[in-house]
Structure 1
């Protein structure tokens, strides 16, 4: 008691002191704030991440500064309790740089999404420190190196997306330890090795995609343990062996693709009985054999079915229950038995109401084409029956499939006339009927197929004349009607098909008359063959205007006269056959100057004189001369006789002729000099009177002539209203440039030159074509010469990408939707600059796809300011003295009020922009013949929104023509989904800009805001 009483006050004081100290720590003026060290670590890690970014085109990381807390930076999400970073999401901002290893210090991170950017270098091993990480999405970048084995420490991972990179090496075996992993995607890399049995340990795995790599070996049976597996994508590899039969028992499977491997064996008869959810079945381009299992009838959910290019045999079973079937590919097998029963399954296909593409090409199907083929899906766009043994007449009912875009019936045994019902194919773009026994005339109905760009009727028994209605096919770029029995002359209308670019083949017929001089109108034709006919007369010199020709075959006719020297203008010509004709005279020396000529055959004519020794004549294996008895000289390997020495008794006569020629030459030269002097005086006066061009350094004609190889046709890259554009180089420029040479004979060309110089001399914007210099001088003949020099755009014009079928452009990697939306934004940015940011308002006045150029990175640049107008500001309002009466512009893109004399305005440019947007999204030009009864592009879109988006969207964006496109779409997530709401927003912008009343059109400020919102929404909504 005494002890307690003595120390009780002391204990009390100690207790009070402790409470007081605790109070000060928590609530006092110098309270200790609980700031975990981790916050500083996260902040530092993010700063290091930003330092590794070398290019940020959308200035996404501008918010990453000290003015706001890092938890509020764009793309960052923090936990409310600890204020630690739990999400770093910068998907689709086109960031360029390496991924900083400091990201591994964000130890609370749950979601890391850097997909759809341009990251390069290796994936840091430090990511293995992110033990809380659930979603790692690095897809669609340029990461290289191997998949880090340390990722196997991220035991909470559910989604691992590494596809569309440049990764190498094997899939780490340790991945099998990720028990929570649901999605594992590594497709389109350069991975090797095999699929290890570890795959069976991923008990939660639902999606596994390693398409488009170099993976070998077989599919391990352990994969059958994955009872939740829905996506299995193994195509485009080097896998082999047989498919484990247990795979067909995984009822959750919706997508199964092993296309383009080396698998063999047959499909079990009950394959599809246990796959009720199967939507995609791709096993094409393997070595599968045996019959198609009849159990396919139970796969009622199937959408994509491809067994093409295998060794399947027998009859095709009933497919009538596959009501969702969209794509059916049976081509390249041994199906059918050349019997009348082979095509009976067509009747069951009439229940497949959404069938879009159907191919039985390259099989053994026989019998006649049944009438009920006309009852197939109205959605059917692609039908391929080629390379079979189908016989008889083509049923007229086939013409009921009015949605067909591509019809291939080549190399069968069809007889009779081409049905008149084919005239209903108003959407037809590619029609192939070659290699049959069609007879009668080429029907006039061909002229109704205005969308046609590919027509192949060769190797039939067609007769009569070529009907002039062919002229209506103004999109035609490939025309082959060779090896028939056609008579008459070649109609001029054929040469009015300016779109012809790939091929015109009229060979092996009985055509008579001359080759019309209008052949020179085919300036884009690459292959021209009229051989083995009965043509006569001279070879027209206008053939030299076909500057794109690579293959010219005139052999086996009765052409006479001399070989035209104008052939030397065909600088890209590789093959020339003039044999078996009645040509006379000497061989033009200029033929040896065609640099690309690899084969020349002029045998069996009546040619005489000296054979040249250079160019193609310098190789005896490349030139044919037999049958011309009066030829001499040439290289020794041709074994021709030496040319005779001139007779001495004619020496005096020759001397007299030499003197006469000398006198005449002197007089000609004197007249020429006087003429040049007079022209120079006139030109100097004209140049003196021309408006001045300030602030642009000028370049000489000699420099441009040298830089384009004498304005060679090989360097010609385009032509327009006022001249031609050449690719060239200048001593003062390190890179290739584009040189626009004005045709000063064209009315308005002088004014266009001055307008374009003055419009572009003071403006600079990333989305405008940069003018480098100009030339205002005289050429070597004393003629006035004017040219503009611009930055060269490697990827050409937007028109070449939107309409390659018209312009003979080969852009296999077509513009996807992302590219198109970026280009729309780029063009809007250029217009915003011209309308809002220049000291002097500039009206473009001719905005259209051919005036939008694409650089190496597919960034759009607006060009061609040849009819632009500069508008001064007077009293705070825009003032322009020039009305649009007489302004040409371009039909379809020029606003309607300009045609009624209204003055040019920004609203006119907005109309052109709106039409451009609609054209990019629909793939249809405003002058498309598709529009009938007064309908136009604006109405076509307005009448379909918002419910029928698929009917107006460019077929190239939703096309199922190629397996590669389908495979990509499947890899991205089975059914190709398009954010309809965002697309409608873009369509609405196009519609609101192209309203007929000018006051109802959007201005560029509002357009820019709307585009920014719609674009961000679209890219944020894309499936990873």
Structure 2
């Protein structure tokens, strides 16, 4: 009657079958408790009540069913301890108690069932320590799973005396000390305990039939023994220490998990001998060197994670055999160069994470990767245009690169929460939520109309006179304003903005920009991205220009802009408050410049409103007085460049390589004008 939808309690009439030998009621919805009347089934050999809704405690009367060989109560809600009466079940071979609510110490009655071969107590609340002579008391065990309980104390060394033990799992407990030699094991799971000290070399003496070994999430230190390669049947492995080349001897390895440890050195090319490996996770370590070409030729690979290391060099070009690859993660390394064209031959790739490296050039054509869902190419030096076929992705991050051209507006490009492109100076268009420059549409030439020669002459004369009059007025006004400006700047006073010149940390700016959120993004330039930030201590809203140090010339630009901070006149002209030189949370250099926020938009937007999309245009036009004031400010900046500083600080000195210095000076000076 297994695998049905039976409900209610076990009927009492069922216990009249005194000749019943097998009772299977697993995979139903039977509730209530385990009835004590079961003892009437004196000839019962198999009792399977697993995967139901049984509650309460096990009755002591179960001990009267001395013919039982197999008892399964797994996947129920039975609680309490194991009755001592079970010690009378001397013919019992299998006992399944997994995933219930049992509690208390390891049942001493089980030690008396020396015939046990299969014992599963996984996922309960058992506690206490195991008897040192555990292996001598249960010598016939083949399968033992005591994981996800609260066992403490040492692992019994007598496990090694259980001659036929093949599967041992004591995960998620608090057991200590090293393991002895269990030469018949094919599965050994002791992860998430409190195993400490160095990894014993005796582990290499385990059975050559061992196919799964998990020692992860413990306190094991030291190095991996070189002779680990003796475990030639190993398919799953979790360890810590250095990566020996002998790992390549484990040719049947299917899963290798080394993530989140402190491995150092290079990735051994010998891993390429593991032709059956499916999952290779060695991210979040301290590995260096290049990615071995041999790894990128393992045709069976499904998941490859090398992220958060210090790997250098380029992504191997020969990766065509990786037709089963679903996930490739190499983010946050020091990889560089162009992305290989054959990346598009990874037909099954769904997730591709390359962010936080130094890749450059165009994105190769990966249109053939029809299963692609999530791509992250951010924080690199990639360039070129954005492929339109990216519109079908679930997630796309191209931020902080050198992409250019128009951003598509179809498919997922209509959702700013799915597509991220900030920090690319050359991009324009796209939906307004992306906050990019609008597309500049060329105005259609107006149809020419017939004008007589006399009309053209009169209009030309009128325009010329008007222009001469405006130039004359502007000349008078400029002279007057320049005189006022010189009077104002002749005695420069300390600016109130100097309160910001104290040291500002990365953490302070990160909090002020809400984690450099795209919602605070103002724009991007050649060497960095600008965010709006609120500095709570100073109670001021500012603009923070975060330098992208991956860009060539970014550091020089930062130092150049920091130099004039010493001069109040220049600092007030460009509204530069201070500079930040700090270390981010990942230990990388962080450089930023803090400016006074200009809430009314850019000067270019006010001078050329016709180039700005309608929803962002200024609410009014500039007056002649305001335009003259802007012109005077520009002249004042040029005056500073020409008189108060060296032009070499701003890159203008490149002109001197082609022109005579003295003649150029005369052309730029007031005398030359």
- TM-score greater than 0.5 by the shorter chain: yes
Q: 1:264 aligns with which of 65, 85, 103?
A: 103
Q: Deviations over 1:618-658 (max 9, x none)?
A: xx6xxxx4xx6x435xxxxxxxxxx88x68xx4426999xx
Q: Distance in 1 between matches of 2:198 and 2:149?
A: 25
Give the alignment's TM-score, normalised by structure 2: 0.63
Aligned to 2:386: 563
Aligned to 1:531: 355
Q: Distance in 1 between matches of 2:67 and 2:199?
A: 44
Q: 1:283 aligns with which of 114, 118, 121?
A: 121
Rg bigger for which structure? Answer: 2
Compute the displacement of 1:598 (Å).
6.3
Aligned alpha-carbon RMSD (Å) = 2.3
Residue 652 (structure 1) aligned with residue 445 (structure 2) = yes
Q: 1:651 to 1:290 in 2, by over 3 A?
A: same
Q: Distance in 2 between matches of 1:281 and 1:359?
A: 15
Q: Distance in 2 between matches of 1:252 and 1:440?
A: 54
Aligned to 1:226: 65
Aligned to 1:631: 437
Q: Distance in 1 between matches of 2:192 and 2:329?
A: 25
Residue 546 (structure 1) aligned with residue 390 (structure 2) = no
Please tell me whether the aligned partners of residues 521 and 546 of structure 1 are also in contact (alpha carbons under 8 angstroms).
yes
Q: Distance in 1 between matches of 2:447 and 2:42?
A: 100
Aligned to 1:245: 84
Aligned to 1:178: 17
Give the alignment's TM-score, normalised by structure 1: 0.42
Q: 1:273 to 1:564 in 2, by over 3 A?
A: closer
Q: Distance in 2 between matches of 1:482 and 1:557?
A: 15
Q: Distance in 2 between matches of 1:437 and 1:464?
A: 15
Q: 1:222 to 1:492 in 2, by over 3 A?
A: same
Aligned to 1:92: none
Matches within 5 A, 1:117-516: 162-268=1-107, 270-297=108-135, 298-318=137-157, 319-336=159-176, 342-343=177-178, 345-347=179-181, 349-350=182-183, 353=184, 355-409=185-239, 414-416=240-242, 418-501=243-326, 503-516=327-340
Q: 2:345 aligns with which of 496, 501, 521?
A: 521
Compute the displacement of 1:504 (Å).
0.5
Residue 604 (structure 1) aligned with residue 423 (structure 2) = yes
Q: 1:495 to 1:483 in 2, by over 3 A?
A: farther
Compute the displacement of 1:191 (Å).
2.0
Q: Deviations over 1:815-872 (max 9, x none)?
A: xxxxxxxxxxxxxxxxxxxxxxxxxxxxxxxxxxxxxxxxxxxxxxxxxxxxxxxxxx
Which consecutive unaligned segments of at least 5 residues does structure 1 have?
1-161, 337-341, 614-619, 633-642, 657-1024
Partner secondary structure for residue 319 of structure 2: helix
Partner secondary structure for residue 163 of structure 1: coil
Q: Distance in 1 between matches of 2:341 and 2:313?
A: 17
Q: 1:189 to 1:373 in 2, by over 3 A?
A: same
Aligned to 2:559: none
Please tell me whether the aligned partners of residues 324 and 347 of structure 2 are also in contact (alpha carbons under 8 angstroms).
no
Aligned to 1:146: none
Q: Distance in 2 between matches of 1:254 and 1:377?
A: 24
Q: 1:261 to 1:654 in 2, by over 3 A?
A: farther
Q: Distance in 2 between matches of 1:234 and 1:473?
A: 43
Which consecutive unaligned segments of at least 5 residues does structure 2 have?
450-673
Partner secondary structure for residue 198 of structure 1: helix
Please tell me whether the aligned partners of residues 297 and 321 of structure 2 are also in contact (alpha carbons under 8 angstroms).
no
Q: 1:593 to 1:193 in 2, by over 3 A?
A: same
Q: Distance in 2 between matches of 1:401 and 1:511?
A: 33
Aligned to 1:1012: none
Q: Distance in 1 between matches of 2:447 and 2:409?
A: 23
Q: Distance in 1 between matches of 2:446 and 2:132?
A: 94
Partner secondary structure for residue 313 of structure 1: strand
Q: Paired residues, what number?
A: 447
Partner secondary structure for residue 383 of structure 2: strand
Q: Distance in 2 between matches of 1:587 and 1:488?
A: 31
Q: 1:586 to 1:207 in 2, by over 3 A?
A: same
Q: Deviations over 1:401-459 (max 9, x none)?
A: 101111122xxxx333x112111111111111122222222111011111112111111
Please tell me whether the aligned partners of residues 382 and 401 of structure 2 are also in contact (alpha carbons under 8 angstroms).
yes
Please tell me whether the aligned partners of residues 202 and 226 of structure 1 are also in contact (alpha carbons under 8 angstroms).
yes
Q: 1:508 to 1:608 in 2, by over 3 A?
A: closer
